[in-house]
Each structure stands twice: as C-alpha cells, then as structure tokens.
Amino acid sequence: MPKARKKKPLSVRAKTQAKIVTLPDSGASLVDRIEQAIHDKIATGSWRAGDRIPNEMELVEQFGASRATVNKALSSLAASGFLVRRRKAGSFVAPNTEMHSVFKTIDIRNEIESKGQRYSFRLIDRVVQPSKEASLYWPELEAESKIVALTGVHCADDVPQVLEERLINLAFFPEAAEADFALDPPSVQLLKIGPCTRLENVISARLAEQFEARILRLPFPSALLVSERKTWSNRVPVTLFRLNYPGGSHSFVGHFSPVEHKY
Amino acid sequence: MPKARKKKPLSVRAKTQAKIVTLPDSGASLVDRIEQAIHDKIATGSWRAGDRIPNEMELVEQFGASRATVNKALSSLAASGFLVRRRKAGSFVAPNTEMHSVFKTIDIRNEIESKGQRYSFRLIDRVVQPSKEASLYWPELEAESKIVALTGVHCADDVPQVLEERLINLAFFPEAAEADFALDPPSVQLLKIGPCTRLENVISARLAEQFEARILRLPFPSALLVSERKTWSNRVPVTLFRLNYPGGSHSFVGHFSPVEHKY
DNA sequence: GACGATATTATGTCTAGACAAAAAATATCG
DNA sequence: CGATATTTTTTGTCTAGACATAATATCGTC
C-alpha cells in the first residue's frame, strides 16, 4: 500500500542562510533566535506545560533552518529544562516551568505530606492595603497598586511548623483578597496562575518574638531561621514572603559542584 | 610559495562511527566520551589552567571524529566554564577550575576588606586528632587518617565577626597542624593546594552558647546563623567547617532564575 | 623600525544527508 | 480478542563540507 506521501524536496531554501525568516532578526545566531522564539512561546503561555510542540521537521520549514540547527536549539532548551524530548513521541513543554533544582523547598505542603503527616494551613490574619505601605521592603511594586498582607502557619498534623508572613500583588492575583488557603497554601495557588521566573532569597537568623514563639510552640528565647523571598512571573512582581522556621529543627541544604553531576 | 602541505583526505575513517577510538569505550556517545577525556586531562592536572589545548583539527585526528563532533564537545566544556575559546587563538583551560558563581561568600577576608576594614584571623584552639573522633559528622573520611580541629574568629578591625570551627583532613593538607593562619585564613590556604570541586552546605539557626556570645561580643540570648560546609577536591574530602554568623547582622543572598540570565 | 595592508589560522555557524534507536502505532497470527 | 511481530515516526548522533569572522602573524613600504 504505497502511501500517497508528498515527497517534495523539503522546501528549497536560499543558500547560506535564509533571511526570509519570520523572526525578529537581531545579531544573534539562527540557533539562538530559534531558541528565543520557542522560549517566548512558553514564557507567554502560548504553549503550555505538557503541550506537544511542532516536531523538528515542522520547525525546519517554519524557520527555514536545517534540522541540525533546529535540533541544537531544541536540545539546548531541553538541557535548560524547558522542554522534555522523547523519541517518537515528540518534544513537550516541561511540566511546570517553575524554578528547577535549586530551592525546591518552596513547597512546604509537599515536604510535610512526604513525611506521612497531614498538612494544613491556618490563616491568622489578612488585610488589603495600598502597596505604598510596603514600598520600603518591596520597591519594585507600582505605587498605586494594592496588596494583600497575610499571616499564617503551616502545620503538620495540626502542629505548627512554619510561620509565614506574605504580601501578594493583587494585580497578579486579585482573588487573594478572599481566597481560602486551608487546602492550597498561597504559594501553591500563586504557582497555578503563572510560573515563577525569578526569585530572590535572603536567609537570616533572629530571635523569635514572644508571640511568634507562642504560635510555633517554642520555648521563649528561641532562634528562628528566616527565608525571605521575592518572586516574579515574567517581570511582574508577584509576592514577597517570609518563612520563619524553628532554628533547631529546620535547615537548608545545598549541594554544589561546578557542573551539576556531569563528571 | 606553495607550501608543502600534505593534503591527505583527512584520515580515512570507518563509516558510521570509528571504533578505532583510543578512549575507554562506554555506552556513551562520542561527544560525551571526548568531553570526558578532555575533562579528565584538566581534572588530573595534565592540562593546567591557561594551557592551550590541541586545536579542533588535531583533536579530530586524535579521536577519529568529525569536526562538528569535536566542536560540540569543546563548546559544551566552554559553556560549563572549563575552557575558554578564542578565534584564531585557540582553546585554553580556564583559569581557576574552582567552584564558579554560586557561593563566592566563602572568602570572608575578601568580604571584610572590600568594606575597607582590616582583616585578621585569631586562632583560639587547635588539636590534632584521629579522624574517627569526627566520624559522626564526617563519615566520608578514611578511618585511620588524622585531622586537625581548629577554632578561630574572623575579625574586622579586630572586632570579631564570624566564629569558625573547622576540621581539616591532614592527608590533604599536612601543614595544617602548625601553619600560621593570621594572614591567610584556613579557607584561603586550602584553596591554594587544590580547587574545591564539590561543596555541601547546610544552613541553620540556633541560639548562641554563652561562651560563643562572649567571643562574638553579642548580648546573651542571641541567634546565630550557621553555615556548615563540607568540601572535596577531586573526590578527596578536604575540610568540614562551621561558620557562625551573628543572626542580625549577616544574611545569605541568593538570586535564581531558571536559566541564568539567558532569556 | 613603525605602520598598515594582507594572508593565515582557529573557532563559529550552518547545511544536507545518513544511520541508529526508542517508542508508538499498526498489522498479524494463534 | 489478545499477544506478538512489524512498520513508522521522531529524536539522537554523526559526517563532510562550506562560508563567516575574529585575531594573530607576516610582509612590504616608507
């Protein structure tokens, strides 16, 4: 059964690079421009996590490049964790373009549940305020926007574990003003809206205030390990938060080698 | 002046991959094996920082690969920071194969001096002991080897800043038993012997003991920010140390984006 | 010898074509 | 129908050759 396949000579293309390309032509190399274009599709949400992207031959036609060139771009994106590629299956946008590797610890719920304990988040306080209230800590915010300030505790089997103070940019997540965080803590809900594309993290230590010690059920003079983070989603400031861990029972582990695990 | 260049057809090679290759043939791809081989040369010190390595065509002959393949391996090594490549000049082993980027903060002296203060290290205690004394914290050490245990403070203008507790593997740095650390603190001297190729870091917080508070001139109930690190140099355990920072005045700053600055 | 034009060399980027390998889709057989 | 064999699709890897580009080396001229 000779399948009626169009055997066209794979698009005749200008020699030595096609300037026909539909890309914003900068000085960058073709590989870089292809990489950029695909990354943009992902960053803007045109292509979403799990989507199958066009295969190499389709991209070859689309960009007027050779397969080797397209392959290089795709491989690079896969190496950076934006794509997952499988033979015969195709290339897929990686699940969750959220921050890879470094600092997975964002997900406290997961951490607690993986120890077989029941997770819950107890909201202690919530206020809506103009962003200029926080402009000292969070100058990146636009002056006239509004924010929600939250305080809550992450609990394992109803025992308080981590005290969270958080500011959320309402422009990014309007529902934050009345959402229920008992099931999904703020961090999880925020990630559902958009990926975290940038993160700033400051780790410090301090003595717990008396009321903080009470909330976390710690003896009074106690040390807290504090992780203060700001996140962005495609250049939009999303949230600023402080996770207060009891000093003794928590720590951050990092493991570095010049090139991760390759050699 | 027609140069007498042997125009040999670039080494006749078996089709579909040469198994003639002089490399420890694993299941890995040719590119990977070439990359590995070159990395080994650097890791073992056969090729040292600043050395010019054979050019692409020479490697092509040596490995029986095509130029594209060799190029891919070299580009990858350059991307990982092991090589620096310059047109016409050639490919060079990168200066300092030590830990790039992440955690430059190892150098406290530098940090203090860059603030215009005078740095000094005051040794408080030093003992030589069999490694099994520390086997609980440092199981990677060989059982019969010896270590030095140090305690000291890093000072800025003679004001104590950071309390350091450190164990050094004497097999790696025999002089540690009597070296003078007043000018160059242990960390600096260790880096002179060999690059740090792997690092483990645990950050935590705790209350300062009374004597620690006294050394660091802190009020008594005080929080300490503790960074506990283990380092290796080409698989040899080098040192385990704990840096105790006054909680209020110090913090660790991290800045992450999925792929560093590329997009 | 200083200086500028020119040649040379090594890397950077790209193409076209080939075969390999994995996995999904399809056909085949009991 | 279900288990197994075969085909097909898509990525993985490699080759050979080409032109581009940057930086060095060389040569000629004054």
H helices within chain B, ranges in order? Answer: 30-43, 56-63, 67-79, 108-113, 186-193, 210-216
Give the model's pLDDT for residue A66.
96
Banded pLDDT at B261 (limits 50, 70, 90): low
Q: Are A85 and A93 in contact (CB under 8 A)?
A: no
Give the model's pLDDT for residue B8.
29
- Measured CA to CA, the distance from residue B62 to residue B36 in angstroms comes to 14
Three-state secondary-structure class, residue A106: coil
First-to-last alpha carbon distance for chain B, in angstroms, is 50
- The verdict on B224 touching A (C-beta cutoff 8 Å) is yes
Cα–Cα nearest to B121, from B174, B175, B166? B166
Cβ of A10 less than 7 A from strand C: yes
The Cα of B43 is separated from the nearest Cα of chain A by a number of Å equal to 10
Report residues of chain A scoring pLDDT below 70. Answer: 1-27, 96-106, 257-263
Q: Do B256 and A201 touch (CB under 8 A)?
A: yes
Beta strands in B97-246 (DSSP E): 119-130, 146-156, 159-169, 198-207, 223-233, 236-246
- Measured CA to CA, the distance from residue A109 to residue B213 in angstroms comes to 35
Give the model's pLDDT for residue B26.
56
Whether the predicted pLDDT of B25 surpasses 80: no
- The verdict on A137 touching B (C-beta cutoff 8 Å) is no
Cα–Cα nearest to A188, from A81, A83, A112, A93? A112
Average pLDDT over residues B140-152: 90
Average pLDDT over residues B228-240: 88
Residue-wise pLDDT tens digits, B86-142 = 999 999 998 764 544 444 446 788 888 989 999 999 999 999 999 888 888 899 888
- Measured CA to CA, the distance from residue B230 to residue B65 in angstroms comes to 40
Q: Are A39 and A77 in contact (CB under 8 A)?
A: yes
Cβ of B55 less than 7 A from strand D: no
Q: Do B207 and A223 touch (CB under 8 A)?
A: yes
Contacts with A221 from chain B: Cβ below 8 Å: 207, 221
Whether the predicted pLDDT of B13 surpasses 80: no
Cβ of B89 less than 7 A from strand C: yes
d(CA A9, C1' D8) / Å:
20
Beta bridge partners of B229: B201, B241
Cα–Cα nearest to B122, from B160, B153, B162? B153
Contacts of B210 (CB under 8 A, 6+ apart): B220
Counted residue by residue, chain A has a size of 263
Residue-wise pLDDT tens digits, B58-83 = 999 999 999 999 999 999 999 888 89
- Measured CA to CA, the distance from residue A164 to residue A188 in angstroms comes to 13
- Measured CA to CA, the distance from residue B244 to residue A146 in angstroms comes to 39
- Measured CA to CA, the distance from residue B37 to residue B24 in angstroms comes to 9
Q: Of all residues in chain A, what percent carry a pLDDT higher than 90?
A: 52
Tell me the count of A-B CB pairs closer than 8 A: 139
Q: Is the pTM of this model over 0.95?
A: no
Q: Are B251 and A204 in contact (CB under 8 A)?
A: yes
Cβ of B194 less than 7 A from strand D: no
Q: Is the dihedral of CA A154, A155, A156, A162 positive or negative?
A: positive
Give the model's pLDDT for residue A42.
86
Q: What angle, rounded to 10 degrees, do the helices at B67-79 and B30-43 form? A: 50
Average pLDDT over residues B162-177: 95
